[in-house]
Structure 1
Amino acid sequence: MRFAVALLVVCSGVARAQETGCTGAKGKAGSSAPCSEMAKQIAALLDDPQVARAHWGIDVTAIDGTPIYSLNEGQLFQPASNAKMFTTATALALLGANTTFETKIVARGVFNGATKLTGDVVLVGSGDANLSGREIPYVPPSMRPKLAPGQTPPLGPPALRYLDEMADQVAKTGLKVVNGDVVGDDTLFPWEPYPQDWSIDDTVWGYGAPISALSINDNQIKVTVTPGDAPGKPPTVTIDPIAPYYTIDTTALVTGAAKSGSHVDMQRAMGSKVLRIYGSIAVDAQPDEEEVAIIDPAEYAAAALKSMLEARGIVVTGVARARHRISTDSTGFMQASHEPLATMDWSKTYAPQRPAEQGTSVLARHTSPTLIEDVVVTNKVSQNLHAEMFLHNAGAAVLSDGSTVGGARVVRAFLEHAGIDKDDFVFFDGSGLSGHDLVAPRATVRLLQYATTQPWFADWRRSLPIGGEDGSLVERFGKAPLKDHVFAKTGTLGEARALSGYLDCASGKTVIFSIMVGNHTPASSADREAMDKIVAAIAAAN
């Protein structure tokens, strides 16, 4: 009956087409036969029993914002990683495409000549998300070297390469003895590792890594489990990068019989440095590789740097430790994040400011890639930590407050400035991992339309995944006519999914679209398949 009702509403509105446009199942209808047919196709797709019980929202407009089609466009949905578009647009507009972040190693104490320091060596985090082995700029798969069958991909740069380079700089100063500690300082942001309503299940894994102004290797390590040479033998576990941090418990890990599959799991209690790896892996299975979150990135970075300094002959008498700034703000998140920015100057760009410290001297420096190159990485591969770093850096730059709520306040102010209804969105984080995040499809479409009018649009648009080509759309829209003609951000979180962006249509025109779904059947991809068919229908009809 759902299809029949929708079809009746669509067809009955044709007489009003000139004043309403094709806005579908909410009582408005098509401005042309192709558009009306598109509404019927979408209604039929959403009437499929596999997706009919889910909650759908769709909004489609021309580049200038002229309505084409809508369904529940003003209702709220979990945006999942569509949230990254709002965060990265804010960062690009307010911080600027060419902004960089400088990480320093400083001496905090008193020198006896050049060789002896009484005090601490401090690694000072600047909000750089790319202290890692990640290769930047992002290279799409089609431009990467092709491997012969059976050929192993070449190893990328070492995960801690920039920390190594800074350790070399420290050694070149002539320093030989540190009578003090090695400190990882992430006080540019308050220590708020997890935004509200992040799932506890996610915190073990790299995609749920904690947020820190001193982030290292995406705040994760790679754990590889390789089967032993016979059933019953212990598998081999390797860690990359190697650093003195986690204790690995493999007492319940075993090599299984041939063809028994891989059934490896990993657990870590909150706050614990014991990583328990258990289960079985078949003797003939490929190695199991997992990205595991680092629970305190600043402490981990300090431990890694201490090892590097000692390997270079520098004696450190103290320990590796983190220096955090604990938040004392007890204001409710909704109240604080909705406070307006009355004195905001939208014509300028901002840079995070760290107060200068007395009694320090710089031993080493590292400058990050430009902000736009990190925006490309963040949106292409949907990198959660980097999106969170943009949120915090926006707060640090505009408000001198690198807190989660400070960043959310800046994002909200920017989106209202862009003409998005204040009641059409709420963000508790920058990546979309929070279950509290809510967005209306029309808010996403408005952001996409506003962006087309801005000087940073070309940079931001190239950060979106391209259908059949790269990023999170590399395996979707792989055939003509949609291949290379869908430029959109994906989103997946539990039983929510989203896809929003720009679409080159059959007529040669480009339209803006946002498709969001909530409460779909768990562990099902039927909603994604319906979503892609909706995109095809939009492209064919416009």
Structure 2
Amino acid sequence: MNKVLAAAISAVVCAGIAPAQSQNSGCDGPVKAKTSRSGPCSELARKISEVLADPAVARAHWGIKVTAMDGAPIYSLNDGQLFQPASNTKMFTTATALALLGANTTFTTKVISRGTFSAPGKLTGDVVLVGAGDANLSGRVIPYVPPSMRPKVAPGQQPPPAPPALRYLKDMADQVAKTGLKVINGDIVGDDTLYPWEPYPSDWSIDDAVWGYGAPVSALVINDNQLQLTVAPGDAPGKPTNITIDPIAPYYTVDATALVTGPHGSGSHVQIERAMGSKVLRIYGSIAVDARPDEEEIAIHDPAEYAAAALKSMLEVRGILVTGVARAKHRISTDARGFFRASHEPILAMDWSKTYAPPQTSIACVSNCSSTAPAETVLAQHISPPLIEDMVVTNKVSQNLHAEMFLHNLGAAVLGDGSTVGGARVIRAFLTTRAGLDPDDFIFFDGSGLSGHDLVTPRATARLLQYAATQPWFADWKRTLPIGGEDGSLVERFGKAPLKDHVFAKTGTLSEARALSGYLDCASGKAVIFSVMVSAHSPATAADRIAMDKIVGLIAAAN
């Protein structure tokens, strides 16, 4: 499509006649045919048409919705059609979580004894680490600090080390040791039964399960359920490489028999595989002797089991004898309903104006306790940062696992069911009942957008953004969004005036789908809402992202 044809299409669209290949597109609102060719709206439509006529992006499917802050329509293109939202899904999840759980709610992880003390310091029974949905048992610095505000590192100097990844687990081990406990005639158990054991939502790619961004979902999270694996070259070609895993804990076995140090200038060609259910990491390929170390984030296969193993080691280091093993305690789902139907079930007699406190104890114990159950004593605990601070991290850096935990925590708090479908049901009910979204305009199978089954329309996304802007929690929620040229996933986009610091939006990228939606400060000084989505774009290219950013610039200039 050339520029002449693009201009002709935009003129027809603004006159109110949509061409067959661009249905439901053009200027919204009362634009008259006799003035449409010269008005600001028709000019915006013409310029957007020119951007999308570029052969590099013309074969992709595009959807756009732009409105005023009060929802008054400005421009649309395929805004009622469904797109893969990718990480735009996190906006729907976090808005619901902020509204229903509250900005200041916290989650308390506990270490408890289940058994009897036959003598001072001697337990007959298990020590259990009970997960409560805290996403930040890690070395992450909270609150989130934008890059521009982080300490500057002088040339040639190393940045200060990050806090230890297992610092809070170590703190709880210290608390246990201070109780005087010396012998545990039982196991160390990682209990994540607050959620059913559903580590991977529907349609998560099997390829993602190896990597940190696809870490399994659990109510007991340690270091984002991931380890940092570093492969450094040996001191000469053909020599073995140097492999380190941080944090160090007895869990994975590494098979690097097919990994070698390559010759100078040969680059890094390191591959990592792990069979489903296996705890063997197979690392193969080569890394040049002069290459920088290859650093990868590797998902932990069973986070509750890993947490138990790490805690057992820490207790033993502190002089506590453990006669049993480290093991996980999961709750296996017995819900045989289909996800689609179950997630669409209405929630009756719901008070959407109140906030809900998340359960602070194991659901398995609540449902299965009896008069003969072992006595429980709290030995240690850790209280999470406020929910809003984790939400900032989640949206700024697009943290998939944390978004999934928001979904599960919603199900646990509102329905007493921390399942994937329970959380999805709460989100759907909130969005349709409270936020006013058309129920046919979206379907979410997870909380992060990593599922390829997730679908949403640009107009539903714009409606969510408009609804949020009217809520008392809006200021808190808006500050979780990445800022153009400043932080999060937009730190390297919109880095120059007039858009720098004036785009507040959530990114989304999944295979050949991309999205960007949020708020935009425009040339007039007014703010608008926008959602730009693209699917089926050409792989291995950034042309669609470049076009998307151009469109945002055009919207800002025209309003």
TM superposition score normalised by structure 2: 0.94
Corresponding position: 1:487 with 2:504: yes
> For 1:513 and 1:27, how far apart are their aligned partners in 2?
14
Shift of 1:4: 5.3
Q: Is the 8 A contact 1:490 1:499 kept in 2?
A: yes
2:225 to 212, 216, 219: 219
Name the structure 2 match of 1:20: none
Residues 173-198 of structure 1, C-alpha deviations (whole Å, 9 max, x = no match)? 00000000000000000000000000
Give the aligned residue type for 2:55.
Answer: P
Q: Which residue of 2 aligns with 1:539?
A: 556
In structure 2, relative to structure 1, the CA distance for the partners of 1:28 and 1:117 (3 Å cut) is: closer
- 1:9-24 correspondence to structure 2 within 5 Å: 9-12=9-12
Residue by residue, what CA displacement relative to the aligned partner does 1:262-309 show, whole Å, maximum 9, x if unpaired?
111100000000001111111111111000000000000000000000
| Partner secondary structure for residue 110 of structure 1 | strand
Q: How far has the Cα of 1:3 moved from its partner?
A: 5.8
The C-alpha deviation readout for 1:323-348, integer Å capped at 9, x for no partner, is: 00000001000000000001211111
Question: 1:10-55: CA deviations, max 9, x gaps?
Answer: 42465679xxxxx983586857722211111100000000000000
User: Given the alignment of the two structures, is residue 430 of structure 1 paired with residue 436 of structure 2, yes or no?
Assistant: no
Aligned amino acid, residue 346 of structure 1: W
**Partner residue in 1 for 2:20:** none
Opposite residue 441 of structure 1, the aligned amino acid is P
Give yes or no for contact 1:74–1:442 (8 Å, CA) kept in 2: yes
Query: Residue in 2 aligned with 1:240?
Result: 246
Q: Are 1:412 and 2:418 matched, yes or no?
A: no
Taking the aligned partners of 2:477 and 2:464, their CA distance within structure 1 comes to: 12
C-alpha distance in 2 between matches for 1:6 and 1:338: 41
The counterpart of 1:374, out of the listed 380, 390, 393, is 390
Change over 3 Å in CA distance of 1:309–1:24 after alignment to 2: same
Distance in 2 separating the partners of 1:24 and 1:95: 37
Q: State the shift of 1:6 in Å.
A: 5.4
User: CA 1:157–1:510 in 2, change beyond 3 Å: closer, same or farther?
Assistant: same
Contact 1:189/1:403 (8 A) holds in 2: yes
CA displacement at 1:351 relative to structure 2: 1.6
* Structure 2 CA distance for partners of 1:120 and 1:9, relative to 1, 3 Å: same
Does residue 440 (structure 1) correspond to residue 446 (structure 2)? The answer is no
Which residue of structure 2 lines up, in the alignment, with residue 508 of structure 1?
525
d(CA) in 2 for partners of 1:490 and 1:337? 25
Q: Figure out how many residues of one structure are paired with residues of the other and give that number.
A: 537
Q: Is the CA contact 1:24–1:69 (under 8 Å) kept in the aligned structure 2?
A: no
Q: Which position in structure 2 is the counterpart of 1:113? A: 119
Question: CA RMSD, aligned part only?
Answer: 1.6
Choose from 133, 147, 159 the match for 2:153. Answer: 147
- The answer to whether the 8 A contact 1:10-1:24 is kept is no
CA contact (8 A) 2:14 2:45 kept: no
State how far apart, in whole Å, the 1-side matches of 2:541 and 2:14 are. 35
Q: Which amino acid aligns with 2:123?
A: L
2:136 aligned partner: 130
> Match for residue 198 of structure 2?
192
Q: Which residue identity is paired with 2:11? A: C
2: CA distance, partners of 1:2 / 1:342 = 54
- How far the C-alpha of 1:399 sits from its partner, in A, is 0.3
Per-residue deviation at 1:228?
A: 0.5
* Residue deviations 1:451-487 (CA, integer Å, cap 9, x gap): 0110110000000000000000000000000000000
Aligned residue for 2:25, secondary structure, equals helix
Q: Is the 8 A contact 1:216 1:297 kept in 2?
A: yes
Q: What CA distance in whole angstroms lies between the structure 2 residues aligned with 1:28 and 1:459?
A: 30
In structure 2, relative to structure 1, the CA distance for the partners of 1:27 and 1:444 (3 Å cut) is closer
Give the counterpart letter for 1:469 in structure 2: E
Unaligned runs of 5+ in 2: 18-22
Change in CA separation of 1:257 and 1:348 when aligned onto 2, cut-off 3 Å: same
TM-superposed deviation, 1:9? 4.8
8 Å contact kept, 2:27–2:45: no
Distance 1:210 1:445 in 2: 30
1:211 match: secondary structure: coil
Match of 2:404 among 381, 385, 388: 388
Question: What does the per-residue CA deviation read over 1:402-456, in whole Å, with 9 as the maximum and x for residues that have no partner?
Answer: 0000000000011102010000000000000000000000010000000011011
Distance 1:52 1:14 in 2: 20
**Distance in 2 between the 1:251 and 1:14 partners?**
64
The match for 1:79 is: 85
Q: Which consecutive residues of structure 1, in runs of 5 or more, have no partner in the other structure?
A: 18-22
Question: Would the aligned equivalents of 2:112 and 2:130 in 1 still touch at CA under 8 Å?
Answer: yes
Code of the residue aligned with 2:465 in structure 1: it is: L
Contact 2:27 2:42 (C-alpha < 8 Å) held by counterparts: no
Counterpart Cα distance in 2 of 1:245 and 1:288: 21
Partners of 1:231 and 1:256 within 8 A in 2: yes
- C-alpha distance in 1, partners of 2:281/2:405? 26
> For the residues of structure 2 that align with 1:128 and 1:275, how far apart are their CA atoms?
27
Contact 1:100 1:369 in 2 (8 A): yes
Question: Per-residue deviation at 1:148?
Answer: 1.5
Q: Which residue of 2 aligns with 1:292?
A: 298
| Code of the aligned partner of 1:297 | P
Conserved? CA contact 1:9–1:27, under 8 Å: no
Q: Which amino acid aligns with 1:198?
A: W
Equivalent residues in 2 for 1:326-405 (5 A)? 326-353=332-359, 354=361, 356=366, 359-405=375-421
Preserved contact between residue 90 and residue 447 of structure 2 (Cα < 8 Å): yes
Residue 530 of structure 1: how far off its partner (Å): 0.2
Deviation at 1:7, TM superposition (A): 3.6
Letter in structure 1 aligned against 2:100: L
Q: Distance in 1 between matches of 2:156 and 2:109?
A: 40
TM-superposed deviation, 1:5:
5.6
- Partners of 2:238 and 2:16 lie apart in 1 by 73
Q: Is the 8 A contact 1:114 1:173 kept in 2?
A: no
CA contact (8 A) 2:346 2:429 kept: yes
Instruction: Please say if residues 254 and 281 of structure 1, whose CA atoms lie closer than 8 Å, have aligned partners that are also in contact.
Output: yes
Cα gap change, 1:24/1:427 in structure 2, threshold over 3 Å: closer, same or farther?
closer
Counterpart of 2:354, as a letter, is K
Greater shift after overlay, 32-41 or 44-53? 32-41
Residues 10 and 25 in structure 1, CA contact (< 8 A), matched pair in contact too: no
Q: 1: CA distance between counterparts of 2:61 and 2:458?
A: 12
Residue identity matched to 1:311: V
Report the CA distance between 1:114 and its aligned residue: 3.0
Question: Could you tell me how far 1:524 is from its partner in structure 2?
Answer: 0.6
Aligned partners of 1:509, 1:151: CA distance in 2, in Å? 44
Which SS does the other structure have where 1:164 is aligned? helix
Is 1:47 equivalent to 2:53 in the alignment? yes
